[in-house]
Every structure is written in structure tokens, then in C-alpha cells.
Chain A
């Protein structure tokens, strides 16, 4: 392809266009139209842009976010230094990035402390960022405090080479099936889960289907002589 030959690539792809300082770069987007493998001679195929999620937010966060974060930091004490890797306030939602070793401790405080009191865990959702080296797999927990009518998000990451995150079933028994689902779909091993088995896929299924490196699958559909490829190989836009 003309747009992938070295002389056509931009001089520096790493320098430059990170949108906000501290933003979490998870991927790099190529080209303008998201179409790969066509003879694009427009030059736009050489475009490189960073895909960055909102970065850490400096204090003050606003509203109850400050009080709750400080309370949690106080409860964790000096042992818990660095347990909260990053605080992100985005679109009115508070996200705490937690170091995986301290997840259970943090969850215990969030549930039991009367100023925090996040009694209700809406489960865990896995996200796979294959190009975020060392933090490929994320487990995202959504907690609800019924007492204070607040929501908070905990995000924990682990490398693909060591996909272990401690289970919070001892704190939130409701997460039993949710963690099994995340193991099933993403291959995150929740240490300490009472019975971490597959839940949606058959027991002998190879692979973890919702990871980005797992293909969607599908076959060509032929209709009146025209062939339509399956959605993952179809021309698309990014």
C-alpha cells in the first residue's frame, strides 16, 4: 500500500497531538476514513491520531467528590498510599483508578464507612485495550450508595500477561455472576472467587469472546449475486 510505505509515514507519530495533559492514551488511529487495505492515494491514509481517554483530574473535583475521595484516602491511611492511582471526573461521573492489590480493601471501606456507604454493586464490566501496554485489561465496577444517592466507578487494570484481579465477592456477594461473566468474556482471573467458571459460554469454549483480539466471526451473505462481507471485515469508519 502506498500509504504504509516508510517514506509516506509522518515524521514523528509519538510527538504531538495528545489532546489533554495526562490523558490516557489507549490506541492510535490510522487514516482518515477508517478504511484499510484500499489503494488510498489521497494521503489521508498516513494520518496518525492518538486515541486518548480523559486523563486525571486535579483537585478540587467539585460537589461531594472531594469529600468522598478524602474520606477514602483517610481510611486507607499511610498503608494505602498510592492505592488510588488516579481520579477522573468526567461528564459528572467520578472514577477512581485503584491499584489491584488494594481493591478489596477499598471496596470494604466504600461499603462500610457511614460517610461513603456504597451498599449496592451493579456488577463488573470488562474492557480490553490491547494497545495499552501493561494495562490491557480493565475491570470497571459501578457502585451505588442508596443512603447518599450517589454513584461511583472503580476502575482496576491488569496486564494481559498476568490477568489477575482480586475478587470482591467477599464484600459484594452480588458480584458472583458478574465476575464469572467477565472471566468468561475477557479472561480476567478474579482471585478468591468461590467458583470462577464460565457462565455464558460452554465450559469447553476456547478463548474469551469479548476481547478485542477475538474475531466477531460471520460469513459472507450472498443476495442476487452481490456478496456482503460480515460486519468485522466490511468497510467501516473509525
Chain B
């Protein structure tokens, strides 16, 4: 133990003594407090702390081990995505919004594209295959997102095996994303009017392999956790928030469904054809962290059911269009996945460069200038893994969004952090925050 650690200094401020604690240096804090230590200690947890899920800063006022007041400090990951989207074309907007909630990029893209399509008035013209592919990608994404939540949540309470197997299965999901979209994240694959390209050859076989693999390995989570006494001790009755609390604070997603109320936009306000799929909305009635874990676990099974139905439908849809027929909106080229990511289709380049001047002009105009969207506003919400993800778009009739705003469920749900944590132990704060599953990319945008 060194007393001259440059990173763990002590200084006096008007509010009291401030210590920088980097771990294992509690002795210097205790000795620094003097003979009459203050009762009340304010602890800054984060923004750089592995168990705060990104750059979330928790400001905890503690007495002994008990948290008496808790507040969030956010904004450390604010990247101005909404502002940036106002300076790019409608299609380029997808590239920005996919980066918000980086664990569920397809939901960001879908919410945005559905809003653009409502503004364009082409909601009914989206090809069936594009809708099935959107649902497929979204449900795969729900699995990968819940896996990260369960894996990191497990790691934080010492369940390391849950973490290792969680990331193992997530990797399988990301491999599928890479095969279908060319990228593991930040896909920009779902576009206004449809999706960027058709399913590559062999993708359906890989999806079936994936379903087999998940059917074999998903039960492992239940076996490791569901009745594990340590796991249950850490999660049960921690982070309690009942239905009236959820309603008042605008909480949606698994925290709401863990109170026993099965609100799911896929059922109540279906989009992308969700009403034609057979799936259940899992609920739990304990309204605590354990309930949220069980809801997520069960939702992965339901998502797998939907993925299976999507695969069956896609098998019968070979060669069908994936982009709206309107040539003034649909992206002019079919892209191809090369060995270094997404690339242009050689057939398309041959066509525009060698065969048709009009096709070249059309391609150039649509890609550089984009399409115009009639003036007005739209709000579309989808059920993301974290709850209601809404997209409010305003168009002034130009080629760029006049205003894009996202109601991110992480942002809204994180407001419940104080009510979940106050009065509990410091160690429970970690569990309670993890049970909300906030993703700071979505919170700060």
C-alpha cells in the first residue's frame, strides 16, 4: 500500500474532503478522515466503471453500506446523432441511428424506417419479404441483446460462466448478422422502403443450424441460474418496482412485464406483420431483478420461435423483392457482400457504367441528392429489447429530416434508478441497474 499514489489524492473543497479511490486504498481514506469522520459520504460510481454498463455515472449518498440517495449522471456518450441526421439524406439517417443503442441496432433502424415510410405514405407497399427479413433480424437481435444483459449481469455478481456462455451464444448471433448484412454491428441494413439486399446464399441453412444450436444451449442459462441459491439471493427482492411505479415513470419492456403486465407493442400495435406470427408475451409477477431476468430468458425462447417461423417463410420466398417497387425511393443497386464487408454489385456497375446512361443519372441523383419526403410529422414506436423505442420525425418536404428524435427506452427506464436503489445496499445497486439493462449509446444518443 502506497500513500503517494498520484491517482488517489486527497483535496479539500467547500463541500468537504474529496478522495479519489482507485481500489484497495481504503486505509488511506480512513486515515485521511481524521478523528471525527463525517457520517454522510457521497460516492461517485463511474463514469468509468465496468459494472455501470458503459459511461454511466451514479452519484450515491451512502451511510455505511446503505444507499440513502441515488442519482444518475448521464451525457458522457452524447454524440449528437439526432442533430447530425438533420444534415444527411433520409437514407443516410439509418447509418446514424443504428449507432444509438448499439446492442439493438436493428430496432433503431426499423423504428426510423417505419417513421420515414409513414411520412412517405408507403407503409402498405413494403414487400412481404422485406418485412419478414426485418422481423427475422429484429428477433435475432432481441436474443443477442438479452444475452448481453444476462451475461454482463451475471458477471457483475460473480457468475462468470453465465458471462462466458452468454458471449458464446451472442457470437453465434453476430456471425449470422455478419453473414446477412456484412457487419456485426452498425449495419445500416434496414432502409426506408425495405432492406439493403436479399438474403445471401446459404443463409437459411445457417439460420437452421443456429436454431438447433440455441435449442441445445439456451436451457443452460436456466440450469445455471433459475434455482441457483446464490443467484436468487442476489436478485430476488432487489430493485423492486411495481406496476404503478412503472406506469408513473413510463417504464416499458421487461421491467414492466416483470410486474405481471404483459404490455408488448408487437401484440397491441403490430408492425412489420407481427400479428401473423405465433408467439407469447412472457410475464413474471415478482417485479424485482429476478423477475426481469426470467422475463428476458423466456423472451429469448419466444424470439427463437419467431426466428423459426421467419426461416420457414423465407424458404418459400426465394427471389422475391426486398425493396419497395417505387424507383424514386428504392435504393438503385443491389449490394453484394464481399470478403471485406459490403460492396457494390458488379452486375449493377456494369449496367450503369456500360449500358444505360439514364440508369447512371438515376443512380447518381438518388444516391447524392436522395428523395424528398412530404412535409409533416410521424411517430412510430417499436418494441425493442428494452421497451418502447419511438421515433419522432419531422419533414419539411426536403431531402433531409427536419428533425429526428428518438424516445429511447434506456433513457426513460434509467429514470427508475433512484427508486430501485435508495434504501438498498451498495452491492444491490449493481444488480438493480443491470436489471434495467441501460445502454448508454441509446441513453445519450
Contacts and interface: CB of A to CB of B under 8 A. Distances in A.
Contact of B74 (A126, A128, A199, A231): A199
B403 interface: yes
Given A142-B392, A237-B369, A121 B375 contact: no
Interface in B186-215: none
Interface in B387-445: 388, 390, 392, 394, 396-400, 402-403, 405, 407, 411-412, 414-415, 444-445
B249 interface: yes
A13 interface: no
A230 B84 CA distance: 11
Contact of A91 (B252, B378, B392, B399): B378
Nearest to B76: A200
A174 B412 contact: yes
B394 A201 contact: no
A200 B88 contact: no
Nearest to B265: A144
B370 interface: yes
Contact of B376 (A91, A119, A198): A91
A201 B75 contact: yes
B398 A174 contact: no
B82 interface: yes
Contacts of B368: 237
Contacts of A29: 396-398
Given A174-B412, A199-B74, A201-B75, A232 B87 contact: yes
Interface string B65-101: 0000000001100101011101110000000000000
Contacts of A176: 415
Q: Which size class do B's interface residues fall under?
A: 35 or more
Interface in B349-408: 368-370, 375-379, 381, 388, 390, 392, 394, 396-400, 402-403, 405, 407
Interface residues of A, number: 50
Interface stretch (A67-75, A146-154, A156-164): A146-154
B54 interface: no
A166 interface: no
A127 B84 CA distance: 15
Contact of B394 (A91, A127, A209): A127
A53 B250 contact: no
B412 A125 contact: no
Given A127-B402, A231-B84, 4 more contacts: A26-B396, A122-B250, A142-B392, A176-B415
B269 interface: yes
A149 B269 contact: yes
A140 interface: yes
Contact of B250 (A121, A126, A153): A121
B118 interface: yes
Contacts of B377: 53, 90, 93, 95, 140, 153
